């Protein structure tokens, strides 16, 4: 009886949502439910037990990733990415279809407590960074480009390689920084050091300070620096940006702001304002959302990026305004991260056996889901990348955007 009730609930819930595609769901009781209009490649998934099926229906945003990682939701035809793309594509096509009452209640509770859960103090921020970025360089070497860029690439043309697109991203950022020879640059959240090295080697920075909270990233960045010939131009430091007390001509932050936490936006921009010289320029590159403020995806928050949050512009700009900084340019990179994640996911899957040997099968399933879910979210949800250029003075940046292409062309000739 319980199995029949679960199947009926699943049938009713997914019938309203899955209007296109071909999806077969084998329930825990062994019944096969069919959804969609029959278009596209057929997909089939199976629930191994009744509690897995119940969890999917009552809290899909958290439970879907857990069930896949635990082997309780099994794709039997098609991949987990195919399933996620089908579901999120149908969600986008039918925004009027609301989750059931239990799922809405779980989301409401997360939204109401989001500031409390994002208490990213200096100590907690370091712990959150270590959770993801200190997993071992050998893992990241399996799927990143040869410059270890772990953020959204910039695809200038169709078919561009990941290496070319990541180089284009660095070039695009450097152009927007309006770097002058000899200027001092701060890179907040410098990762493995690739952007800092580019700004010094190619873009003409006088000095670059890169700060990170990841001990493994720091070690790799310093090792890369030692292999070059930059004569003290670049320094990498294990440091929270809040502990800095200096002045810089330029500040850049790529893929770090997502870890700041909503409650710390004012502190972040106010401190950047103190660090930036009066004629300075800052470039913030962050994942964000084009919709209304929401909460972090609970599965990503729990397993991949604890303390993370994706802002909307309506959450970013008030904190910028209160800091005394001025927005001089905003660019929204749409689908660039979806293409980046496609490259990462394909490379990851090509070397899946090596990931299993490094960790175990469960870790591999978790990261498969992470890469697949993020790619699908960038393709079908309101997730994008914002590049926000900031200054103190209104006349610091040129009055038109022609300078970006001009500076990019000049940098190409130097690469």
Q: Is residue 305 part of a domain?
A: yes
138/99 same-domain check:
no
Of residues 98 and 151, the one with the higher pLDDT is 151
- The residues, any chain, with a CB within 8 Å of residue 256's CB and separated by 6 or more, are 188, 189, 286
Q: What is the pLDDT of residue 228?
A: 79
Which of 55, 77, 112 is where one domain is finished? 112
Q: CB-hemisphere CA count at 13 Å for 217?
A: 28
Residue 76 has pLDDT above 70, yes or no: yes
Given the residues 152, 190, 272, 374, the one annotated as active site:
374
Query: How many independent structural domains does the chain possess?
Result: 2
Q: Is residue 197 part of a domain?
A: yes
Which of 58, 80, 112 is where one domain is finished? 112
79/206 same-domain check:
no
73/185 same-domain check:
no
Q: What is the pLDDT of residues 198-238, one digit of tens each?
A: 999 999 999 999 999 999 999 999 999 999 767 789 999 99
Average pLDDT over residues 62-66: 96
Per DSSP, the three-state class of 398 is coil
90/176 same-domain check:
no
Q: What is the pLDDT of residue 231?
A: 72
376, 81 contact by CB (below 8 A):
yes
- The residues, any chain, with a CB within 8 Å of residue 101's CB and separated by 6 or more, are none
Q: What is the pLDDT of residues 104-122, one digit of tens each?
A: 666 656 656 666 665 666 6
How far, in Å, CA of 203 to CA of 199, rounded?
Answer: 5
In this structure, what DSSP letter does residue 312 have? B
60/208 same-domain check:
no
Tabulate helix, strand, coil % of the chain (nearest 5): 50, 20, 30
How far, in Å, CA of 138 to CA of 386, rounded?
Answer: 29
Residue span of the structural domain in which 31 resides: 2-112
216/328 same-domain check:
yes
CA distances from 210 to 44, 63, 137, 172, 214 (A): 47, 38, 18, 19, 12
Active site residue 374: yes
How far, in Å, CA of 372 to CA of 346, rounded?
Answer: 10
202, 411 contact by CB (below 8 A):
yes
Q: Give the chain's length.
A: 415
- The CATH number for 57's domain is 3.30.1050
Q: What is the pLDDT of residues 292-315, one digit of tens each?
A: 988 889 999 999 988 889 999 999
């Amino acid at each position: 009886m319980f199995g029949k009730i679960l199947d009926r609930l699943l049938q009713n819930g997914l019938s309203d949502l899955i209007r296109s595609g071909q999806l077969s769901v084998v329930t825990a009781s062994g019944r096969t439910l069919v959804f969609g209009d029959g278009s596209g490649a057929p997909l089939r998934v199976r629930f191994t037990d009744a509690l897995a099926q119940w969890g999917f229906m009552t809290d899909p945003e958290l439970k879907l990733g857990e069930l896949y990682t635990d082997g309780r939701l099994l794709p039997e035809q098609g991949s987990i990415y195919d399933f996620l793309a089908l579901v999120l594509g149908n969600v986008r096509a039918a925004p009027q279809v609301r989750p059931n009452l239990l799922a809405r209640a779980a989301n409401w509770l997360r939204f109401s407590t989001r500031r409390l859960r994002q208490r990213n103090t200096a100590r907690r921020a370091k712990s959150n960074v270590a959770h993801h970025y200190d997993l071992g360089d050998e893992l990241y070497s399996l799927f990143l480009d040869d410059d270890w860029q772990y953020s959204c690439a910039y695809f200038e043309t169709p078919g561009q390689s990941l290496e070319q697109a990541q180089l284009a991203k660095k070039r695009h950022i450097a152009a927007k920084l309006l770097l002058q020879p000899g200027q001092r640059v701060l890179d907040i959240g410098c990762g493995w050091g690739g952007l800092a090295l580019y700004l010094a080697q190619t873009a003409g920075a006088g000095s670059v300070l890169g700060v990170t909270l990841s001990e493994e990233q720091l070690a790799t960045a310093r090792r890369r620096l030692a292999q070059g010939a930059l004569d003290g131009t670049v320094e990498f430091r294990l440091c929270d940006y809040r502990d800095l007390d200096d002045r810089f001509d330029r500040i850049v932050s790529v893929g770090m702001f997502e870890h700041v936490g909503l409650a710390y936006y004012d502190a972040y921009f106010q401190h950047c304002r103190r660090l930036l010289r009066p004629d300075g320029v800052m470039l913030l590159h962050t994942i964000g959302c084009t919709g209304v403020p929401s909460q972090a995806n609970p599965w990503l928050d729990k397993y991949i990026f604890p303390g993370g949050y994706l802002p909307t512009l309506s959450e970013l700009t008030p904190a910028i305004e209160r800091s005394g900084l001025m927005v001089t340019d905003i660019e929204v990179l749409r689908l660039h991260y979806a293409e980046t994640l496609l490259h990462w996911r394909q490379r990851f899957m090509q070397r899946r056996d090596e990931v299993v040997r490094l960790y175990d099968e469960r870790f591999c399933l978790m990261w498969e889901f992470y890469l697949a879910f993020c790619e699908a979210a960038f393709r079908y949800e309101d997730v994008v990348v914002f590049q926000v250029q900031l200054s103190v003075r209104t006349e610091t940046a040129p009055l038109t955007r022609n300078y970006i292409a001009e500076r990019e062309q000049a940098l190409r000739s130097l690469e």
